[in-house]
Structure 1
Amino acid sequence: MRFFNTEGPIKQDKHYFLPPLERWDLAQVLTLIDQEKYFLLHAPRQTGKTTCLLALMEYLNREGRYLALYANIETAQPARENVELAMTGIVQTLANSAHFWLGDSAPQALAREVLAEQSATVALGQFLARWCAQSPRPTVLLLDEVDALVGDTLISLLRQLRAGYSQRPTGFPQTVILCGVRDLRDYRIHSSSEAPITGGSAFNINIKAKSLRLGDFNAAEVRALLQEHTAETGQVFAPETLDRVWTLTQGQPWLVNALAYETCFEMPEGRDRSRPIGLEMIEQAKENLILRRVTHLDQLADKLREPRVRRVIEPMLAGTALGEVPEDDIQYLIDLGLCRMAPGRGLTIANPIYREVLPRILTFTPQASLPQIAPTWLNPDASLNADRLLSAFLVFWRQHGQPLLGSAAYHEIAPHLVLMAFLHRVANGEGTLEREYAIGSGRMDLCLRYGAVTLGIELKVWRDGAPDPLAEGLVQLDGYLAGLGLDAGWLVIFDRRAGQPPIAERTGSVETRSPQGRHIRVVRA
Structure 2
Amino acid sequence: MRFFNTEGPIRPADHYSLPPLSRWDLDEILSLIDQKKYFLLHAPRQTGKTTCLLALMEHLNREGRYRAVYTNLETAQAARENVVLAITGIVQAIANSTRQSAQAPDLAVLAREVLAEQAATVALQAFLSRWSEQSSQPLVLLLDEVDALVGDTLISLLRQLRAGYPQRPAAFPQTVILCGVRDLRDYRIHASSESAPITGGSAFNIKAKSLRLGDFDADEVTTLLLEHTRETGQVFTPEALDRVWELTQGQPWLVNALAYRACFEIRAGRDRAQPVTLELIDQAKEQMIIERVTHLDQLAHKLQEPRVRRVIEPMLAGTLPGEASEDDRQYLVDLGLLRRDGAGGLVVANPIYREVLPRALASGPQDSLPRIAPTWLNADGTLNPAALLDAFLVFWRQHGEPLLRSAPYHEIAPHLVLMAFLHRVINGDGTLEREYAIGMGRMDLCLRYGAVMLGIEIKVWRDGASDPLTEGLTQLDAYLAGLGLDSGWLVIFDRRSNQPPSAERTTGNEQISPQGRRIQVVRA
What TM-score do you get using the length of structure 1 for normalisation? 0.98
1:268 Cα shift?
A: 1.0
The sequence identity of aligned pairs, in percent, is 75
- Distance in 2, matches of 1:115 and 1:192, equals 28
The residue that corresponds to 1:328 in the other structure is 327
- Distance in 2, matches of 1:341 and 1:122, equals 41
1:510 Cα shift?
A: 1.6
Dislocated runs of 4+, deviation >4 Å:
none
1:103 Cα shift?
A: 6.2
Please give the residue correspondences for 1:100-139 in structure 2 after superposition, counting only pairs within 5 Å. Answer: 100-102=100-102, 104-139=104-139
1:376 Cα shift?
A: 1.1
- Distance in 2, matches of 1:173 and 1:431, equals 57
Please give the residue correspondences for 1:464-479 in structure 2 after superposition, counting only pairs within 5 Å. Answer: 464-479=463-478
* CA pair 270-464 structure 1, distance change in 2 beyond 3 A: same
The residue that corresponds to 2:82 in the other structure is 82
Aligned 8 A contact 2:369 2:421 in 1: yes
1:499 Cα shift?
A: 0.9
- Distance in 2, matches of 1:264 and 1:452, equals 27
The residue that corresponds to 1:65 in the other structure is 65
- Distance in 1, matches of 2:221 and 2:17, equals 10
1:521 Cα shift?
A: 1.2
The residue that corresponds to 1:311 in the other structure is 310
The residue that corresponds to 2:380 in the other structure is 381
The SS at the match of 2:434 is strand
- Distance in 1, matches of 2:419 and 2:185, equals 39
State the AA in 2 paired with 1:288.
Q
The SS at the match of 1:389 is helix
Aligned 8 A contact 2:67 2:103 in 1: no
- Distance in 1, matches of 2:492 and 2:70, equals 56
C-alpha distance after superposition, 1:385-433 (max 9, x if no partner)? 1111111111110100010000001110000000011011111122211
The SS at the match of 1:270 is helix
The residue that corresponds to 1:390 in the other structure is 389
1:509 Cα shift?
A: 1.3
Aligned 8 A contact 1:33 1:175 in 2: yes
Greater shift after overlay, 438-447 or 215-224?
438-447
Aligned 8 A contact 1:188 1:198 in 2: yes
The residue that corresponds to 1:24 in the other structure is 24
The residue that corresponds to 2:436 in the other structure is 437
C-alpha distance after superposition, 1:448-498 (max 9, x if no partner)? 112222111110000111110000000001111111111111111000011
* CA pair 377-193 structure 1, distance change in 2 beyond 3 A: closer
The SS at the match of 1:436 is strand
Aligned: 1:42 with 2:53 = no
Runs (5+) with no aligned partner, structure 2: none
The SS at the match of 1:265 is helix
Greater shift after overlay, 477-486 or 402-411?
477-486
The residue that corresponds to 1:51 in the other structure is 51
1:7 Cα shift?
A: 0.2
- The root-mean-square deviation of aligned C-alpha atoms, in Å, is 1.1
State the AA in 2 paired with 1:10.
I
Please give the residue correspondences for 1:267-282 in structure 2 after superposition, counting only pairs within 5 Å. Answer: 267-282=266-281
State the AA in 1 paired with 2:378.
N
Aligned: 1:180 with 2:180 = yes
C-alpha distance after superposition, 1:133-190 (max 9, x if no partner)? 0000000000000000000000000000000000001000000000000001232201
Aligned 8 A contact 1:86 1:153 in 2: yes
C-alpha distance after superposition, 1:275-316 (max 9, x if no partner)? 111111101011111111110000012101101111111111
- Distance in 2, matches of 1:407 and 1:520, equals 29
State the AA in 2 paired with 1:170.
A
Aligned 8 A contact 1:506 1:524 in 2: yes
The SS at the match of 2:273 is coil
- Distance in 1, matches of 2:220 and 2:207, equals 31
The residue that corresponds to 1:164 in the other structure is 164
- Distance in 1, matches of 2:198 and 2:165, equals 22
Aligned 8 A contact 1:186 1:200 in 2: no
Aligned 8 A contact 2:437 2:444 in 1: no
The SS at the match of 1:333 is helix
Aligned 8 A contact 1:375 1:426 in 2: yes
Aligned 8 A contact 1:158 1:202 in 2: no
The SS at the match of 1:321 is coil
The SS at the match of 2:89 is helix
The residue that corresponds to 1:417 in the other structure is 416
The residue that corresponds to 1:298 in the other structure is 297
1:352 Cα shift?
A: 0.5
Report the number of matched residues: 524
The residue that corresponds to 2:242 in the other structure is 243
- Distance in 1, matches of 2:329 and 2:456, equals 29
The SS at the match of 1:499 is coil
Aligned 8 A contact 1:81 1:192 in 2: no
C-alpha distance after superposition, 1:58-93 (max 9, x if no partner)? 000000000000000111100000000000000000
Runs (5+) with no aligned partner, structure 1: none
